[in-house]
Amino acid sequence: MPTRARPGPVHVVGLSCTPLLPEQDAVLDELVFDAVSAALSECALRKADVGLSVLASMDVPDGRSISSGLTTAAAAGYLSDSYRLEADSGSAVAAAAQAVAAGDVEVAVAVGVHNPEHHATDDAGRRAFLEQLSNLAFEPAFDRPVGMTAQAVYGMQAAHAIRASGVTLQDLAELSAAAITRGAAGRRPGRRSPVTAAEVLASAPVAWPLLDLMFPAPLTGAAAVVLASPARAARLLGRSAVVTGTGQATGDHTWTGDWLTRPEATTARAAADAYRNAALTDPASSVDVVELSAPTPALHGPYLRALGLSGLPPARVSPSGGLAGGHAGLANGIVRLLEAVEWLETHEPRGRAVVHSVDTVTGTVSEEATVAVVEGV
Amino acid sequence: MTSPLTQTVHWDLTYDVHLGSTWGRFMQGLREQKILANSCPECSRTFVPPQAYCEACFVRTQEWTELPAEGDLEVFTVVWQGFTGGPTPPYAVGGIRLAGADTLLMHVVTGLDFTDPATVREQLPHGSRVRAVWAAERTGQILDISHFEPAG
Ligand SMILES: [Zn+2]
């Protein structure tokens, strides 16, 4: 069997995120600039040091068309190497890490921004707009005309899980309540108050069987990470974590039904890739913490199993609260990385984290999953 | 927070989405109240919506068949909070496995009483038989099937 060359480790040297708010009074590129300049400041690097910038954003929520022109300069990519992905920022991290690991550049920046250009006074109004965009993202001949949206997909997946896997609505409510309560005490609370399972069950129905407090509060903002080669990182101050492996995978269309019956399959493929790159053969015994991105509690168990981490104590699964408190759209991948690195920095010995992220544009349909293995140093 | 300063931008674009020969044939069938499926010569799976190629075997599909306008409701959700420009909630959307098909067709499902959200599950249990209700005027699009209703 041919052996596969492992990419070298990539150091996380700067990591930052803007305040995550229901709505920002800022232009898109200002948020990108704020996140990137703060991440570069952490490791005392300047724009001229950046060999590659990869930006994750999506034009439809941004109300723009080919917005690279606006955001390239803010991502420290002006007159240098830069590109944009319409994907969760976990993909931007993977792309930037690969460029550093391959020796193409010494320093790379990945940044994700999510700032839907819509003013609403409450979460229901914000979701009505995001759901309209989701409907537009579905395939136009069959799925879009019948009203498919991310929330409808999540509702159906939860209904299937309750019927087929024996999980109950009470179980889901308890998962949401625990995660929201954990998040409320964290550094970036989307929802600021602890809640009980009874309060989750009493919240407004959104997409049966899922209720309001089972969906993340919609947040906006930008998050950025600066990655460097080991040689360059040795001469830098800043964060002390290493990305040892990344993996990505994409899910399937509506008609195959995998999004419904095997929603964990995409994450499992991404995890297999990341673990192989990181030479992680037994995640169950060698991972200390996971930052999971479960957009609903019905996906918590399937994603955790796909990562091989079902045995982790609950306190080690998204200590930040994960998405239960709030979700900053495509910025999420880097927000989860930030939460994981902060956890590693505050625990001795430093340990190993798995960072999981998915895009939520069309729910588990055509879902994109990213997994990264991160070690504290 | 006071309302941030914003500027209203409206995009009004009309697309003519190309259907191609495979989906085109299916949509033409709908005008005549026919649901047409095709299948893969290698794995024998039958597709509705039809596919020009089998993504798993990576070969062109062949063989067309007409399926009955009935099937099993694999799953559904009731949308209580809809989307801007969408139908007025509550409404139900589901995945239907037409008799003879290996795939899911997503569509609007009627016949539920939404008065008590707690009872919707019993009203349409998993695998309930549903049938297509045709629109009076058909123009070669998926909404030529107006919706699916319980067949029992
Ligand atoms: Zn096939």
Which domains are present in chain A? 10-117+219-376 (3.40.47.10)
- What pLDDT is recorded for position A237? 87
Q: How far is CA B60 from CA A41, A214, B50, B63, B98, in A?
A: 54, 42, 11, 10, 22
Lowest mean pLDDT among A70-74, A217-221, B43-47: A70-74
Amino acid identity at A1: M
Model confidence at A7, pLDDT cuts 50, 70, 90, reads: low
CA of B46 to the centre of ligand 1 (A): 9
The verdict on a CB contact (< 8 Å) between A209 and B121 is yes
Q: With pLDDT > 70 as the criterion, what percentage of chain A qualifies?
A: 98
Query: Average pLDDT, whole number, for chain A?
Result: 95
- Residue range A53-64: average pLDDT? 92
What Rg do the C-alpha atoms of chain A give, in angstroms?
19
What is the pLDDT, as a whole number, of residue A296? 98
State the pLDDT confidence band at B1, using cuts at 50, 70 and 90: low
Q: How far is A253 from chain B (nearest CA, A)?
A: 10
CA–CA distance, A249 with B37 (Å, rounded to integer): 29
Query: Which residues line ion ligand 1, judged by CB < 5 Å?
Result: B 40, 42-43, 54, 56-57
Calpha distance A82→A307 (Å, rounded): 31
**CA–centroid distance, residue A86 to ligand 1 (Å):** 30
Please tell me the least confidently modeled range out of A104-118, A329-343, B59-73, B111-125: B111-125
Place of tokens 């995978």: A249
Pairing of strands A107-114, A52-56: parallel
Please check the confidence at residue A3 and state whether its pLDDT lies above 50: no
CB-CB neighbors (< 8 A) of A158 in chain B: 77
Distance B53 CA to ligand 1 centre (A): 8
pLDDT band at A240 (very low <50, low <70, confident <90, very high): confident
- What's the pTM? 0.96
A25/B4 Cβ within 8 A: yes
Asked whether the ipTM of the predicted complex exceeds the cut of 0.95, the reply is yes
Tokens 């899922």 sit at which residue?
A210
- Percentage of residues of chain A with pLDDT beyond 90: 89
Q: Quick one: average pLDDT of B39-60?
A: 96
Cβ pair A254:B78 closer than 8 A:
no
Strands A82-85 and A52-56: parallel
In DSSP notation, chain B reads -PPPP--------------HHHHHHHHHHHHTT-EEEEE-TTT--EESS--SEETTTTEE-EEEEEEPSEEEEEEEEEESS--TTSPPSSEEEEEEEETT-SS-EEEEE-----S-GGGHHHHS-TTEEEEEEE-SS--SSGGGEEEEEE--
pLDDT over 50 at A1, yes or no:
no
Q: What pLDDT sits at residue A5?
A: 55
Alpha-carbon distance of A368 to A248, in angstroms, equals 7
Task: Mention every residue, 6+ apart, whose C-beta is less than 8 A from residue B130.
Answer: B70, B71, B72, B73, B94, B96, B109, B148, B149, B150, B151
Q: What is the pLDDT of residue B38?
A: 97
Q: Is A311 on the interface with B (CB under 8 A)?
A: no
So what's the pLDDT on residue A2? Answer: 46
Residue of B1, B72, B77, B104 to mutate, interface with A, max A Cβ within 10 Å: B77
For residue A204, list chain B residues with Cβ-Cβ distance below 8 A: 80-81
Tell me whether residues B15 and A140 touch, CB distance under 8 A.
Answer: yes
List, in order, residues 6 or more apart from A74 with CB less than 8 Å away: A29, A30, A32, A33, A36
Q: Please check the confidence at residue A309 and state whether its pLDDT lies above 60.
A: yes
pLDDT digits over A285-295, tens only? 999 999 999 99
CA distance A370 to A356: 6
pLDDT for the residue A348: 86
- Which residues sit opposite A374 in a β-bridge? A243, A353
Q: What is the pLDDT of residue A64?
A: 85
